[in-house]
Amino acid sequence: MTSAPLAARLSIPSGPLFFPVTAYGADGGVDLDVYREHVRRGVEAGAAAVFACCGTGEFHALSPEEFEACVAAAVEAADGRVPVVAGAGYGPALAVRFARLAEAAGADGLLAMPPYLVVAGQEGLLRHYQELTAATSLPVIVYQRDNAVFTPETVVELARTEGIIGFKDGLGDLDLIQRIVSAVRSEVPGEEFLYFNGLPTAELTGLAYRGVGITLYSSAVFCFAPEVALAFHKALNTGDDEAVNRLIDGFYRPFVDLRAQGRGYAVSLVKAGVRLRGLDVGEVRPPLHEPNEDHVKQLAQLIERGYGLIEEGV
């Protein structure tokens, strides 16, 4: 666990936020040695934080025991250089269990994912996240997506809740996120509340979210092409929109088009990319499936194209 407050460390966009894949061995079990290496490489490449066992890390497929071991391995590999945030989700009892396991494993914070299956009203969602936050001493980032969609008024109450430090948007409704940012700014003045672009391949919408004032984002591409992700991050945060657009046109848009060719490719295509770069992190667990051979070949070509762009001086 790092010593500085998580919100302060995350508020400085020193690099992309790294969401490592979870490594599995030939027997299908978690391979902690390969996972540590994956995390270590990401930290040394320039990640600003490690988000362990979240969406890209197949949180849904991990047992509590595997989850705790992976979070502890990520903490060990990060070695205090950057904060480690762990996923937590499902219904109240399991979400609290995962949160406490993450705390015991040394995590610096939690990414609170949507509750399982049910579509709840605002009152119930607010209570769920407030009770989860109260269950540990870890600061919490609430993740909006799927069946957890919030009104601006609810996010204001989340921002007022001690221990909730941020809001990650995986919905992509810019009208809603602008109203949320405005409401929190007006109703909770002076509160240091963080916002994250959490859409799959967030770089594609980076310019739009920057317009709303949101510069923090999760980068799945960083898992397999960290230099490309770092070049984009630098361009976005220095206002080099020409370089941003060249990377979008030459790499990110084609990657998103490829990702759209299969369900679950937001995870399995990323994992294939890590393997293409020489680290055998295994395949995804069901119900996700592997990309087909042609799509993997296209991914390899895209990675080569992305590195070609940065060699040209993007």
pLDDT (mean) for 149-158: 98
Cα–chain center distance at 226: 14
pLDDT (mean) for 63-85: 98
Q: What domains can be seen in the chain, in order of their start residue?
A: 15-238 (3.20.20.70)
Report the mean per-residue pLDDT for the chain: 96
Q: 264 and 220 in contact (C-beta within 8 Å)?
A: no
User: Which residues carry out catalysis?
Assistant: 143, 168
Beta carbons within 10 angstroms of residue 115's beta carbon: 22
pLDDT digits (tens, 9 = 90+) for 230-280: 999 999 999 999 999 999 999 999 999 999 999 999 999 999 999 999 999
User: What CA–CA distance (Å, rounded) separates 2 from 302?
Assistant: 36
The residue among 146, 63, 142, 137 whose CA lies nearest residue 106 is 137
* CA triple 303-308-314, angle to 5 deg: 110
pLDDT digits (tens, 9 = 90+) for 6-65: 998 998 778 999 999 999 999 999 999 999 999 999 999 999 999 999 999 999 999 999
In the beta sheet, which residues pair with residue 17?
49, 218
